[in-house]
């Protein structure tokens, strides 16, 4: 039986807007869906999140996932329970999973010798707040647009539709998260608007309360951008950074 969090995950994997786009409707998500010119059952599914979101203390929210047509990745026609396990266990380091939070699995077995730069950057950011952070356990990844593309193709058109439909549910599912790190302009604009945070190039930190629990949002420049505030140490004041670190430390004692 699926729990509530997995029902959110399943609804993203089997997004009805994607299916309508594939059927020929002209919708805000049509451009990003059209990146994959394949039949629906062969379409790489939207990426809901990576890691055990319900337990993660830190959640990274970026624009959208990149795509590799040859990746061993769930397709629309795959078994839904297997797809759910793929995403929740993806950082666990086993066969077909991401190793050490940075090395992608190879189709023939084993892992890449190099690291995925974005994953490596995210892991370093996690270490800023949680020095012994375990990928997929202490932190998880999600996006404002769940469909995959190269170079953010279609993100500008789809982001408000996708974020409005799914992001509040994803954030609610991250019930243990104290900090949401919002990476890049696309993500910052949608997150700020949805939760009325006022994040921008100058205001990098905001707080709100959800179900009686305070949570912080920090806007970081994308690691591949020319922005200078890519780290918590540069986006936050020393006081803000010390407070977040102390809260994470207190939670482990």
Measure the CA–CA gap between 13 and 2, rounded to whole angstroms: 14
DSSP label at residue 40: G
Please check the confidence at residue 73 and state whether its pLDDT lies above 70. yes
Domain residues for the domain of 212 are: 4-252
- pLDDT of res. 193: 96
Please check the confidence at residue 16 and state whether its pLDDT lies above 90. yes
pTM confidence score? 0.95
End-to-end Cα, the chain, rounded Å: 33
**Which of 52-61, 70-79, 180-189 shows the lowest mean pLDDT across its residues?**
70-79
Please check the confidence at residue 248 and state whether its pLDDT lies above 80. yes
117-122 mean pLDDT: 96
What is the share, in percent, of the chain residues with pLDDT greater than 70?
98
Instruction: Give the CATH number for residue 151.
Output: 3.40.470
**Residue whose tokens read 């629906």:** 40
Write the DSSP string, 124-152: HHHHHH-TTPPBTTTEEEEESS-S--STT
- pLDDT of res. 38: 97
What are the backbone angles phi and psi of residue 138, rounded to the nearest 5°?
-80, -25
**Residue whose tokens read 């950011």:** 125
| Higher local confidence (pLDDT), 213 or 54 | 54
Please check the confidence at residue 24 and state whether its pLDDT lies above 70. yes
Under DSSP, is residue 109 helix (H, G, I), strand (E, B) or coil?
A: coil
Please count the structural domains in the chain: 1
The per-residue pLDDT for range 187-242, each reduced to its tens digit, is 999 999 999 999 999 999 999 988 788 899 999 999 999 999 999 999 999 999 99
- pLDDT of res. 1: 39
What ranges in the chain are assigned the alpha helix state H? Answer: 4-13, 16-22, 30-33, 80-88, 117-129, 155-173, 185-195, 232-235, 238-252
Please check the confidence at residue 4 and state whether its pLDDT lies above 80. no
114-133 mean pLDDT: 96
């Amino acid at each position: 039986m699926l729990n509530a969090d997995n029902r959110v995950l399943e609804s993203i994997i089997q997004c009805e807007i994607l299916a309508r786009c594939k059927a020929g409707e002209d919708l805000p998500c049509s451009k990003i869906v059209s990146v994959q010119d394949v039949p629906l059952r062969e379409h790489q599914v939207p990426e809901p999140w990576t890691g055990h979101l319900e337990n993660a203390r830190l959640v990274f929210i970026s624009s959208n996932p990149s795509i590799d047509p040859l990746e061993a990745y769930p397709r629309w026609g795959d078994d839904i329970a297997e797809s759910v396990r793929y995403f929740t266990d993806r950082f666990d380091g086993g066969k077909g999973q991401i190793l050490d939070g940075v090395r992608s699995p190879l189709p023939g077995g084993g892992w890449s010798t190099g690291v995925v730069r974005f994953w490596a950057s995210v892991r370093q950011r996690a270490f800023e707040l949680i020095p012994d952070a375990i990928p997929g356990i202490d932190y998880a990844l999600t996006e404002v647009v769940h469909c995959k593309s190269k170079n953010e193709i279609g993100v500008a058109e789809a982001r408000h539709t996708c974020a409005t439909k799914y992001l509040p549910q994803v954030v609610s599912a991250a019930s243990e998260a104290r900090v949401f790190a919002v990476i890049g302009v696309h993500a910052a604009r949608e997150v700020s608007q949805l939760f009325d945070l006022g994040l921008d190039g100058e205001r990098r930190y905001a707080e709100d309360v959800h179900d009686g629990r305070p949570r912080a949002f920090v806007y970081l420049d994308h690691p591949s951008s020319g922005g200078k505030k890519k780290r918590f140490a540069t986006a936050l004041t020393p006081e803000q950074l010390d407070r977040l670190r102390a809260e994470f430390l207190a939670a482990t004692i």
